[in-house]
């Protein structure tokens, strides 16, 4: 029971963070239609947040996913739809699903939900 009580604030914080990222202007048309060509293999590795982004993303070859923001960690799995230019993340603990449009240019990665703020990363 104590463990559940300790987890509740983290879950609420994750919900707030994801809700905030869902606010803002729509992604540009290029991002919504897969403006950059990428494969699941292109995402494998660690991506460190740039600008205001505090998270480090880790994409495993086996489809594992980790979003580590120090104060909160989301783990689960991911899939890529190359034709649509999207990344879908399946969070394991609470069953949350996030669909991001993806722009990949060299070592720079931008992911964005339909009406969320862009999240920017650089490959480590």
CATH number at residue 27: 2.40.128.290
> How many domains are contained in the chain?
1
Contact status, residue 55 vs residue 70, Cβ threshold 8 Å:
no
Mean pLDDT of the chain: 81
Residue 10 confidence class, pLDDT cut points 50, 70, 90: low
- Mean pLDDT score, 4-31: 44
Using one digit for the tens of pLDDT, what is the confidence trace for 67-117? 999 999 999 999 999 999 999 999 999 999 999 999 999 999 999 999 889
Give the pTM.
Answer: 0.73
Where in the sequence is the domain holding 107, given as residue range(s)? 2-123
């Amino acid at each position: 029971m104590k463990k559940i009580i300790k987890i509740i604030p983290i879950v609420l914080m994750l919900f707030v963070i994801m809700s905030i990222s869902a606010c803002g202007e729509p992604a540009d048309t290029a991002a919504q239609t897969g403006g950059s060509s990428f494969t699941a293999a292109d995402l494998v590795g660690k991506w460190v947040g740039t600008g205001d982004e505090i998270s480090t993303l880790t994409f495993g070859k086996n489809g594992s996913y980790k979003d580590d923001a120090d104060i909160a960690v989301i783990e689960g799995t991911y899939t890529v739809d190359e034709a649509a230019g999207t990344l879908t993340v399946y969070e394991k603990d609470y069953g949350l699903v996030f669909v991001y449009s993806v722009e990949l240019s060299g070592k720079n990665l931008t992911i964005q939900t339909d009406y969320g703020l862009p999240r920017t990363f650089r490959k480590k």
